[in-house]
Amino acid sequence: MNSIVLIGHGSLHSDSGASMIRLAARLRERGAAPIAEAGFLNFSRPTITEAVAKCVGAGATSVTVQPYFLIDGFYVQQDLPGDVAKVAAQFPELTIRVAPCLGFHEKLAAIALERLQAVDPEMSNANGTKAALLVMAHGTPLAHANEPVRRMTARLQEKTRYPLAATAYLDCNTPRIAGAIDSLAAQGARKIVALPYFLHRGRHLRQDLPHILAQARGRHPDLTILEAPHLDYDLRLADVITDRLRELAR
């Protein structure tokens, strides 16, 4: 019997992975697999091993691990293979495959567009105010893995009327978010719509980004900075996951 295990990063904030757990239930209801569970790499439970054990207990003979990450960064390329190897050793009778991460997908762009509209319905230079789009991502030591984020920024700028746009990172890569805001302000932006391109509401969204944006508002008192909601839970994420599972099956 086939099963799916969504794997996320995990957070010290135990509720941050709730949307991924809900998506696992939706995948099960949609028939993507008769068994679908969720597990975490760090901090949160269930762990990967616990999630797979639950699948096995329900009768699974194969598991497809779906990395619930937007990019194929350090955790996906470095940490996840080791964790999967440990699970495989613990359940030698189990067939385990790993699907691609979420990456770039038009339905992710549609979700992101709605998040922008939530705080800036016109998505343009309203009232003559020069506006800018800022896509804020975590970043990864594997710089090439950020390409889906840069592609997302380009697609969102195509779909909106922001004359300025930038991708910026919380860590590991440049430009950093603070520097990107300063640069957009220097280019004449008077309004920045900042999209947290994150799946979970963990520490970065609760603490780090608000602190960075508050400091930027202090440096640029005449600049309006609007923070859009993060991606969070959306049924279209189940469609993205289904497409990644189909890619693996080809």
Question: Which tens digit of pLDDT belongs to each residue from 16-72?
Answer: 578 898 999 999 999 999 999 999 887 678 999 999 999 999 999 999 999 999 999
Residue 12 is predicted with a pLDDT of 46
The dihedral sign for the CA sequence 170, 172, 173, 178: positive
Mean pLDDT, the chain, as a whole number? 92
96 Cβ partners below 8 Å, 6+ apart? 52, 62, 63, 64, 65, 84, 87, 88
The CATH code belonging to domain 2-103+233-249 is 3.40.50.1400
What CATH number is given for 106-227 in this structure? 3.40.50.1400
Task: Give CA separation, 225 vs 68, 78, 96, 139, 188, in Å.
Answer: 29, 35, 45, 21, 13
State what percent of residues in the chain have pLDDT above 70.
Answer: 95
DSSP run (H or E) holding 51: helix 48-57
Ordered by start, the domain boundaries in the chain are: 2-103+233-249, 106-227
Q: Give pLDDT, residue 29.
A: 93
- Of the chain, the end-to-end C-alpha distance in Å amounts to 19
Residue 186 has pLDDT above 60, yes or no: yes
Give the pLDDT score at 10.
Answer: 65
Q: Could you report the per-residue pLDDT of 117-130, keeping only the tens digit for each?
A: 999 998 766 656 79
DSSP string, 137-153: E---SSGGGGHHHHHHH
Tell me which of 240 and 42 has the higher pLDDT.
240
pLDDT of residue 13: 46
